[in-house]
């Protein structure tokens, strides 16, 4: 646990990489918000960013939660001494359309809710005076913007940071799809040598002469490499190749080491601009029979999926929310994540880089799944928007070593408008933008023409929840692997719903659309799935659906209307369900623990019961009312005592494991009525 606490401390110290000549001011506080239908003057609500107007209604189970326009206004004083500088405003996420106005004049629009965008304000503001910024955000459904639908909420608002940046005239460009302007391509990496090419975008509208780029590579302690390149007045990009011998590799959770690449734009001895980017050197591949390899060694990807929302706040998450989520994923022993179904906040990618999580980042090209609407419309405006969002995701997150997979779609159908031709276009675009990474997708169809496009393919499979029994996953996996041995197969989603407060004695499959989702079945489901996955090295990665319960307003099942309860942790992050501890027992061998399952099933009506314990210890002993029922050893972290007899009234259930230096235990009380 200490390493988790230390990691949080490191994450909280993350700052933007700036030189003295580039200044960033956070504009998150004190905005005036009104709904789009408000016509009266001087009527507003004070809000701070991140903000969503759907934090309450989207969690109420009301299908017609507000999807429309929200207006945000803020006054910003633009200093007189900033004349002669350049000014930019950057939004890290506005869902779904953003139209930005300065002093009542429209300066630009962005279409897409999960990537950053920016505009230059240099010639659009009044210096030495207050300037009014207005953003009209719109989360209404649009047939020409991804996603068209999804099993999650479309929260409206400015839900990620807003920044004002002040720079000199000649700079490393922030205007290339709101990226850093520095792209570090790992052209060849081995244990002996890393070959890297830095592509630096230059913005020099006044064609200033005498510029020079200086590239330095730091290993955390010292500068190990430095290069200087002259830049002509009209040059818009510069390529700087460099090599590192005997590189210290980024090696997942085991050793997520990163170099820092500092790029400075100079005129003489004066630094005009500076950008620092992380460089995590690694090489990886996927084998159709043996799975995922990182730096030449096989690595079992123990993955989870995560939505960017939680109870009370919706998608307006702050850094401490992301930190808390990471700590729980680390505690469970996960080492991979699928950021479903859209790009996340840049802070999340920084966090995953430092934690060593292998990451799948995808665009919000979401198909209908089991719903009636289409996820694809064959019109040019929709297809252009998808390509725009794909380019934005890749360029903005290009340098993150944690990202190994670009995801192109989720659960598409080929009936009606067939997306296959378009997916081929997306695949070609990825390879044009970033040939160094692997593409993948999440499918739930049997149409293999769709599965042949991306480099890898993965499936969303819920045997034992929507149909069949959990063990059916083994038959299905082996069947696909036999039928298409060339496919590199993953499991992009698997899971079952559960309430932490639904309990019953009998182990039986509930009805997925029903309101009764017992925790026992979810735990059983995951036990059976992991046994199958663990025995099949050809499964290149598996990703639990979902790490946390999440908002899905159209769902009317389980304990709480408006939530998808397949998470291993509750929507408010207060309760870790039993299945969480099953994975901890199998994935985290360091933090020793014992855990009594169904410990919240406090009132019982049957004297004979089973006591089931999850633990990563070798041997566990059970005590009922202080009397030992013996020690047992587990399989897959599961320890079972059958036919345990409870007495009437309260029963103290306790389990213990004796380690060399300490004793660990868990205890609860069950009452037999």
Cα 209-261-406 angle, rounded to 5 deg: 110
Tokens read off for 231:
């830049």
- Neighbouring-strand partners of residue 443: 459
For helices 346-355 and 2-12, what crossing angle results, to 10°?
Answer: 140
Local structure of 162: helix, strand or coil: strand
Q: Roughly how many angstroms between the first and final C-alpha of the chain, as a whole number?
A: 39
Tokens read off for 350:
């920084």
CB distance 612 to 589 below 8 Å? no
Local structure of 422: helix, strand or coil: helix
CB distance 156 to 211 below 8 Å? no
Tokens read off for 180:
């850093």
Which helix (H) or strand (E) covers residue 31, if one does?
A: strand 31-35
Among residues 291, 456, 461, the alpha carbon closest in space to that of 360 is found at 456
Cα 115-121-124 angle, rounded to 5 deg: 135
Q: What residues contact residue 621 under an 8 Å CB cut-off, 6+ apart?
A: 628, 630, 631, 655, 656, 657, 658
Concerning whether 483 is annotated as a catalytic residue, the answer is: no
Q: How far is the C-alpha of 423 from the C-alpha of 417, rounded, in Å? A: 12
Q: How far is the C-alpha of 518 from the C-alpha of 496, rounded, in Å? A: 10
Q: How far is the C-alpha of 648 from the C-alpha of 646, rounded, in Å? A: 7
Q: What residues contact residue 302 under an 8 Å CB cut-off, 6+ apart?
A: 333, 334, 335, 336, 542, 583, 587
Which helix (H) or strand (E) covers residue 193, if one does?
A: strand 193-203
Local structure of 275: helix, strand or coil: strand
Local structure of 251: helix, strand or coil: strand
- Neighbouring-strand partners of residue 32: 46, 73
DSSP 105: E
CB distance 354 to 10 below 8 Å? yes
- Neighbouring-strand partners of residue 595: 614
Choosing from 411, 527, 621, 654, which is the catalytic residue?
411
Dihedral (CA of 425, 428, 432, 437) sign? positive
Residues with a catalytic annotation lie at: 411
């Amino acid at each position: 646990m200490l390493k988790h606490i230390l990691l949080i401390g490191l994450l909280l110290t993350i700052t933007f990489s700036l030189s003295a000549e580039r200044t960033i001011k956070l504009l998150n506080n004190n905005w005036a918000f009104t709904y789009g239908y408000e016509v009266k003057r001087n009527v507003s609500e004070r809000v701070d960013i991140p903000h969503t107007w759907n934090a309450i209604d989207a969690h109420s189970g009301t299908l017609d939660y507000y999807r429309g326009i929200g207006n945000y206004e803020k006054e910003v004083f633009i200093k007189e001494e900033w004349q002669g500088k350049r000014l930019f405003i950057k939004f890290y996420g506005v869902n779904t359309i953003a139209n930005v106005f300065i002093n009542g004049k429209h300066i630009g629009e962005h279409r897409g809710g999960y990537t950053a965008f920016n505009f230059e304000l240099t010639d659009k503001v009044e210096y030495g005076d207050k300037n009014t910024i207005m953003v009209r955000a719109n989360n209404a459904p649009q047939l020409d913007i991804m996603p068209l639908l999804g099993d999650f909420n479309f929260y409206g608002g400015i839900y990620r940071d807003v920044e004002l940046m002040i720079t000199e005239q000649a700079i490393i460009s922030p205007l290339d799809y709101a990226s850093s302007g520095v792209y570090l391509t790992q052209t060849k990496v081995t244990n002996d040598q890393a070959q890297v090419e830095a592509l630096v975008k230059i913005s020099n509208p006044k064609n200033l002469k005498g510029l020079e780029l200086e590239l330095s590579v730091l290993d955390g302690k010292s500068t190990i490499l430095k290069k200087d390149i002259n830049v002509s007045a009209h040059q818009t990009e510069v390529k700087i190749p460099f090599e590192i011998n005997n590189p210290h590799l980024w090696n997942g959770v085991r050793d997520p080491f990163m170099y820092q690449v500092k790029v400075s734009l100079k005129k003489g001895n004066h630094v005009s601009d500076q950008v620092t980017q992380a460089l995590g050197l690694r090489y990886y591949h996927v084998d159709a029979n043996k799975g995922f390899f990182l730096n030449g060694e096989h690595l079992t990807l123990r993955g989870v999926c995560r939505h960017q929302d939680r109870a009370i706040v919706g998608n307006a998450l702050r850094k401490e929310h992301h930190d808390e989520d990471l700590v729980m994923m680390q505690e469970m022993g996960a080492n991979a994540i699928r950021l479903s179904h859209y790009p996340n906040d840049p802070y999340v990618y920084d966090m995953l880089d430092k934690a060593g999580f292998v990451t799948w980042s995808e665009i919000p090209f979401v198909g209908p799944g089991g719903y009636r609407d289409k996820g694809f419309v064959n019109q040019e405006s929709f297809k252009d928007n998808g390509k725009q969002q794909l380019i934005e995701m890749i360029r903005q997150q290009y340098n993150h070593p944690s990202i190994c997979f670009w995801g192109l779609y989720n659960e598409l159908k080929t009936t009606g408008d067939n997306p296959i031709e378009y997916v081929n276009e997306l695949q070609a675009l990825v390879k044009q933008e970033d040939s160094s990474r692997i593409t993948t997708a999440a499918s739930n169809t049997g149409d293999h023409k769709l599965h042949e496009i991306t480099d890898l393919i993965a499936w969303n499979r819920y045997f034992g929840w929507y149909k069949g029994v959990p063990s059916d996953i083994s038959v299905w996996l082996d069947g696909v692997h036999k039928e298409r041995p060339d496919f590199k197969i993953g499991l992009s989603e698997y899971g079952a719903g559960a309430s932490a407060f639904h309990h019953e004695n009998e182990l039986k499959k509930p009805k997925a659309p029903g309101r009764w989702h017992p925790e026992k079945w979810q735990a059983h489901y995951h036990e059976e799935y992991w046994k199958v996955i663990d025995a099949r090295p050809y499964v290149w990665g598996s990703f639990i659906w979902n790490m946390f319960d999440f908002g899905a307003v159209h769902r009317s099942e389980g304990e709480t209307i408006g939530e998808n309860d397949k998470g291993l942790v509750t929507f408010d992050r207060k309760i870790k369900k039993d299945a969480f501890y099953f994975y901890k027992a199998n994935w985290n061998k360091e933090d020793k623990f014992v855990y009594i399952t169904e410990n919240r099933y406090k009132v019982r009506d049957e004297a004979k019961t089973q006591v089931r314990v999850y633990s990563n210890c070798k041997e566990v002993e059970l005590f009922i009312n202080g009397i030992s029922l013996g020690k047992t050893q587990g399989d897959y972290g599961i320890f079972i005592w059958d036919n345990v007899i409870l007495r009437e009234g309260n029963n103290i259930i306790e389990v213990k494991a004796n380690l060399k230096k300490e004793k660990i235990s868990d205890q609860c009380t069950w009452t037999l009525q």
